[in-house]
């Protein structure tokens, strides 16, 4: 594979990234709280795909024989899904109301292609870039050449990895110390 790294410190892109990440985190918090209020489940089940945005597809459960009202246990999907018909409408509405924002779509609107071109190692699936923010710059790494024009600045892999390591070190320093 030939990785490709990019970054941008464009204030509009950085703001869009931060707003979307904050909305994603808030959506997750609200979904967990709301699922707890429904009861008879162990939280929202999120599917994260290399092709599409993360989606809440149902509720996890440890008691499949006792689903909450409007939900049923799917033996094929092995989680709670909305019941069929009118009785499942509130569950379908719950799913619709708790879908996270699509960070990839946000970045795509700001010059970062959603996927990369297939290569010998990637012929069976589409690969999306890994992204993070550090010190006012948003970074992206593709496992292969982007599939489309990238308007962000091309960076050396060593610069990308140095920024990633600096972020990890900052996160480690920010963790609270628990007394022994």
For residue 116, name the pLDDT band (cuts at 50, 70, 90).
confident
pLDDT at position 121 = 65
Residues 6+ apart with CB under 8 A from 54: 46, 47, 48, 100
145 vs 43 pLDDT, higher one: 43
pLDDT at 124 over 60: no
| 17-68: pLDDT as tens digits | 999 999 999 999 999 999 999 999 999 999 987 667 899 999 999 999 999 9
Report the 10 Å Cβ neighbour count for 99. 15
pLDDT at position 115 = 87
Please give the Cα distance from 129 to 127 (Å, whole number).
Answer: 7
pLDDT at position 87 = 98
Q: What percent of the chain has pLDDT over 90?
A: 78
For residue 1, name the pLDDT band (cuts at 50, 70, 90).
low
For residue 107, name the pLDDT band (cuts at 50, 70, 90).
very high
Q: Which of 52, 93, 34 is nearest to 44 (CA)?
A: 34
What's 102's DSSP letter? -
Full-model pTM: 0.87
| 15-27: pLDDT as tens digits | 999 999 999 999 9
């Amino acid at each position: 594979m030939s990785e490709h790294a990019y970054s941008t410190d464009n204030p509009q892109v950085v703001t869009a990234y931060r707003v979307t990440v904050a909305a994603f985190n808030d959506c997750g918090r609200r979904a967990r709280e709301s699922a707890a209020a429904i009861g008879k489940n162990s939280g929202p089940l999120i599917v994260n795909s290399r092709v599409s945005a993360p989606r809440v597809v149902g509720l996890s459960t440890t008691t499949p024989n006792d689903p909450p009202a409007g939900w049923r246990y799917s033996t094929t999907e092995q989680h709670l899904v909305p019941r069929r018909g009118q009785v499942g409408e509130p569950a379908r509405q719950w799913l619709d109301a708790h879908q996270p924002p699509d960070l990839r779509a946000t970045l795509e609107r700001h010059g970062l292609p959603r996927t990369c071109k297939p290569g010998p190692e990637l012929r069976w699936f589409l690969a999306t870039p890994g992204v993070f923010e550090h010190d006012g710059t948003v970074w992206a790494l593709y496992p292969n050449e982007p599939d489309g024009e990238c308007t962000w600045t091309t960076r050396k892999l060593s610069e990308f990895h140095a920024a990633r390591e600096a972020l990890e070190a900052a996160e480690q320093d920010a963790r609270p110390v628990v007394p022994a």
